[in-house]
């Protein structure tokens, strides 16, 4: 090296190098990803230059990246035929670093739980990650400009670096690395190939290793290939390769757009919600690429939480990937990408529901709970999600119905969508709250999934129709026939019975009264306050929060045989008391509010014994 000059690193760069060299990383292999991404950038920049300028050094040289490793000498070389650098550009790119990027990276290192290897590239410190594995690094480069001279840069990660002239006839940049003893694995060709397949398989230029003239990377990414050129089997094969899920996906979404953002994406909805034991994907999130280079294995910012089951790849050239790049999040691009991806996935789900009801039913059974969560957690998305919801109803308990299906079957004059919340599909059909609606032939949504109570916190309306819990719905008093009127317990006797119920139940209920809507059932619990939120009561229960049985009104069916027979028992007798207790706790059980159903067993046994003795 002739005319070598020595320079001091700036203070922040020294601090950054110290962190990189002495910190422990989960994935030191990331240094190769960063070097290859820089090489890819250099090749892309040359390709762009030659569109308008053919007067470059080595105009016919193959655009490629060549890696050589010497296991004995413990060296690794990464050589590209890209745009190269001049003397001043080497100082600018390697001798200094964007101060804001360095500062933010150093701030990030203060969080001991941060996996720094995943954020290296986001703060403009990509090249410096080589010092995680290097004793020393020598960069030799020659610019594409014909009159340029080769220059070399040398550093050991200490306080200084050296720059001098070099002998290099061809255009491009060569990075020579002396590996640390504990980093000798990176001189093994099989290890280098594994890293390339994981992080850099889709770089658009051939990557050669050693003497092999066959590129080790795929170069052409399926998501950047025209839809017309991809077969159904290729889509399935790519899904299997990236997830090791050998069950076909329910749906794939292939996106290619230039506005409002430049974006390529290939997304999949798996066949099942549960990951298999051999699944490659150990976490939620999409693979995020920029210009075919993987920068995040599990990105959770590209789709809303309620679509976290979606698998696949997103690639955008609008994301910055170079030595001076800032965090992806701070670019303002992520919200735009998220909006495009979310809209497209939701549109494809709507099409699936419309065109293939059977397949959509499979989707709903596996992933419906996620959409319900979205209703609860994302108020702004309720209108988008609600058409995708599916329900069983009292009049159609087997097939799944959408809210649009329900509305199309509404009775003339009906202004509300009715629903009932229960513990399971079979018992909810026996709920006393449905007596009136069964008798009128009115359809009611059956909500028996624990997540339904959370969903109702956000789902109050569909189009112009309010959703109404049948337990609190205002209904007209059912007309009584002469026979039914005569069948009722006389008013004086019923009043005495109400007093007995109040005495036995005490403060557990706010009132006991006659019901004008019960037909088959003996009793029901109604909210004492019309504004009470019964869904919120269930949410507290499911969350295991401190929970008290809400005090409700007990309504009794004055025509029910059980109550008539109850009046025949000795007043205030033990049997009469335990039957009243059981009627109340049965109502609690049907509501899904009973705190300890097993506690009823001894009382039921007493009632059985009394019945047998009689």
Task: Provide the token pair at 124.
Answer: 């403009």
249 found inside a domain: yes
**Is residue 387 domain-shared with residue 377, that is, in the same domain?**
yes
What does the pLDDT read at residue 551?
Answer: 83
Per the structure, the count of domains in the chain is 4
The token duo for 496 is 């005495």
> Can you tell me the distance from the alpha carbon of 136 to that of 127, in angstroms, rounded to the nearest whole number?
13
From 298, 332, 355, the end of a domain falls on 355
For residue 92, being part of any structural domain is answered with: yes
Q: Distance of alpha carbon 128 from its chain centroid, rounded?
A: 33
Mapping DSSP onto H, E and C, the string for 382-423 reads HHHHHHHCCEEECCCCCCCECHHHHHHCCCCCCCEEEEEECC
Residues 601 and 613 occupy one common structural domain:
yes
Q: Is 225:264 a contact under the CB 8 Å cutoff?
A: no
The per-residue pLDDT for range 442-498, each reduced to its tens digit, is 999 999 998 998 899 999 999 999 999 998 888 776 555 444 555 889 999 999 999
Residues 6+ away with beta carbon under 8 Å from 100: 326
d(Cα 433, Cα 596) in Å, to the nearest integer?
Answer: 22
Q: How confident is the model at residue 121 (pLDDT cuts 50, 70, 90)?
A: low
pLDDT in tens, 423-452: 888 888 989 999 999 989 999 999 999 899
Same domain for 465 and 495? no
Residue 539 lies in a domain: no
What pLDDT sits at residue 540? 64
Residues 362 and 374 in one domain: yes
Q: What is the pLDDT of residue 345?
A: 98
Long-range contacts made by residues 542-546, C-beta under 8 angstroms, separation at least 24? 542/450, 542/453, 542/454
Rg over CA atoms, the chain: 35
User: How many residues are there in the chain?
Assistant: 614
DSSP assignment of 210-277: TT--S-SS--S-GGGS-GGG--HHHHHHHHHHHH---SPPSEEEEEEE-SSS-EEEEEEE-S-SSPPT
pLDDT of residue 231 exceeding 50, the answer is: yes
Asked if residue 613 lies in contact with residue 591, where contact means CB atoms within 8 angstroms, the answer is: no
The larger pLDDT score, comparing residue 13 to residue 144, is at 144
Question: Which of the four pLDDT bands, split at 50, 70 and 90, describes residue 547?
Answer: low
* CATH code of the domain covering residue 237: 3.30.230.80
Q: Is residue 544 part of a domain?
A: no
Contact 420, 452 (CB under 8 A): no
Where in the sequence is the domain holding 472, given as residue range(s)?
357-476
User: What pLDDT, on a 0 to 100 scale, did the predictor assign at position 109?
Assistant: 67
Are 413 and 448 found together in one domain? Answer: yes
Kindly state whether residues 41 and 124 are assigned to the same domain.
yes
Domain CATH for 610: 1.20.120.790
Does 601 lie in the same domain as 452? no
Q: Is the dihedral of CA 313, 315, 319, 323 positive or negative?
A: positive
At residue 482, the pLDDT reads 46
- What is the pLDDT, as a whole number, of residue 99? 47
What confidence score (pLDDT) does residue 26 get?
Answer: 63
The answer as to whether 285 is a domain residue is: yes
pLDDT band at 102; cut points 50, 70, 90: low
Residues 449 and 362 in one domain: yes
Last residue of a domain, one of 355, 385, 418: 355
Across 284-299, average pLDDT: 86
Query: Does residue 405 sit in the same domain as residue 511?
Result: no
For residue 259, what pLDDT is reported? 83
The total of other beta-carbon atoms located within 10 Å of residue 605's CB is: 10
CATH code for the domain of 165: 3.30.565.10
Q: Residue 328: its pLDDT value, please?
A: 53
Whether 25 and 143 map to the same domain: the answer is: yes
Say which residue, 430 or 406, is predicted with more confidence.
406
In a domain, 526, yes or no: no
- Are residues 173 and 111 both part of a single domain? yes
The pLDDT value recorded for residue 172 is 97
Last residue of a domain, one of 181, 209, 237: 209
């Amino acid at each position: 090296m002739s005319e070598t000059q020595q320079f001091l690193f700036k203070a922040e760069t020294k601090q950054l190098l110290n962190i990189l060299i002495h910190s422990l990383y989960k994935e030191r292999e990331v240094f190769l990803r960063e070097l290859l991404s820089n090489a890819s950038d250099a090749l892309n920049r040359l390709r762009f230059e030659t569109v308008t300028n053919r007067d470059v050094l080595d105009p016919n040289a193959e655009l490629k990246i060549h890696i050589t490793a010497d296991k004995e000498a413990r060296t690794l070389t990464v050589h590209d035929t890209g745009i190269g650098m001049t003397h001043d550009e080497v100082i600018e790119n390697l001798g200094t670093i964007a101060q804001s990027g360095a500062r933010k990276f150093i701030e990030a290192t203060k969080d001991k739980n941060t996996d720094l290897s995943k954020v290296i590239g986001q703060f403009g410190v990509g090249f410096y990650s080589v010092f995680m594995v290097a004793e020393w690094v020598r960069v030799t480069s020659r610019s594409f400009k014909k009159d340029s001279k080769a220059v070399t840069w040398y550093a050991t990660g200490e306080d200084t670096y050296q720059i001098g002239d070099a002998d290099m006839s061809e255009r491009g940049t060569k990075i020579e690395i002396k590996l640390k003893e504990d980093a000798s694995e990176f001189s093994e060709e099989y290890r280098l190939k594994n890293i390339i397949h994981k992080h850099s398989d889709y770089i658009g230029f051939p990557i050669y290793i050693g003497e092999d003239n066959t590129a080790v990377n795929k170069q052409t990414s399926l998501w950047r290939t025209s839809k017309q050129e991809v077969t159904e089997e290729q889509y399935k094969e790519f899904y299997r390769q990236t997830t090791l899920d050998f069950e076909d996906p329910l749906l794939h979404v292939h996106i290619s757009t230039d506005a409002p953002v430049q974006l390529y994406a290939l997304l999949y909805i798996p066949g099942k919600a549960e990951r298999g034991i051999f699944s490659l994907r150990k976490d939620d999130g999409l693979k995020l690429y920029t210009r075919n280079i993987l920068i995040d294995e599990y990105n959770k910012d590209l789709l809303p939480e309620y679509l976290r089951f979606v698998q696949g790849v997103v690639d955008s050239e609008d994301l910055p990937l170079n030595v001076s790049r800032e965090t992806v999040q701070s670019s303002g691009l992520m919200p735009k990408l998220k909006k495009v991806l979310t809209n497209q996935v939701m549109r494809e789900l709507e099409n699936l529901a419309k065109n293939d009801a059977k397949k959509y039913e499979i989707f709903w059974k596996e992933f419906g709970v996620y959409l319900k969560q979205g209703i609860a957690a994302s108020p702004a998305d309720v209108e988008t999600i609600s058409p995708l919801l599916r329900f069983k109803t009292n009049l159609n308990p087997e097939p799944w119905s959408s809210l649009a299906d329900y509305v199309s079957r509404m009775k003339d004059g009906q202004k509300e969508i009715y629903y009932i919340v229960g513990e399971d599909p079979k018992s909810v059909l026996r709920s006393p709250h449905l007596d009136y609606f069964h008798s009128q032939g009115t359809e009611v949504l059956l909500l028996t999934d624990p997540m339904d109570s959370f969903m109702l916190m956000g789902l109050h309306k569909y189009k112009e129709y309010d959703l109404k819990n049948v337990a609190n719905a205002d209904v007209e008093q059912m007309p009584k026939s002469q026979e039914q009127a005569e069948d009722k317990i006389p008013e004086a006797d019923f009043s005495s019975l109400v007093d007995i119920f109040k005495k036995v139940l005490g403060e557990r209920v706010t009132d006991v009264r006659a019901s004008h809507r019960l037909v088959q059932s003996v009793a029901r619990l109604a909210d004492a306050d019309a504004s009470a939120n019964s869904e919120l009561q269930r949410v507290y229960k499911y969350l295991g929060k401190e929970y008290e049985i809400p005090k409700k009104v007990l309504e009794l069916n004055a025509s029910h045989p059980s109550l008539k027979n109850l009046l025949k028992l000795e007043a205030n007798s033990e049997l009469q008391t335990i039957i009243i207790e059981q009627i109340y706790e049965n109502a609690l059980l049907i509501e899904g509010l009973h705190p300890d159903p097993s506690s009823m067993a001894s009382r039921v046994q007493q009632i059985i014994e009394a019945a047998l003795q009689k």
